[in-house]
Structure 1
Amino acid sequence: MIEINKDELQENLSQYFNHEIYVHFEMTNGAYAAYRMVKQLLALFEMQKQS
């Protein structure tokens, strides 16, 4: 199973949205897939903001 650093994820999301975000999820493959999707969406938003 792939390990996700929950603290790092929380910190990244909190910085992105400019307020505290708490991440609660079981470490499952489904959660990892959702995490990857969120990361990709955040990257897309970053690109849009800069252009």
Structure 2
Amino acid sequence: MMTIQSCLMVILVLLLGLQKLNASIVDACVEDFKRNKQNGMSICPTMTNYIKCII
């Protein structure tokens, strides 16, 4: 299980990498991320899904 600090580190790494990704792909992944959070999914599984989406 990832700690909050680990999740935050993943977020920072992803934000730095977003500069190189296609904007339409990122937008779709961000919308999926928001939908998962609104449905009550915890942050770590949500981040895992986000990582899978942008890779």
* TM-score calculated relative to the size of structure 1: 0.43
> Larger radius of gyration, structure 1 or 2?
1
Question: What is the TM-score normalised by the length of structure 2?
Answer: 0.41
Higher relative contact order (CA 8 A, sep 6+): 2
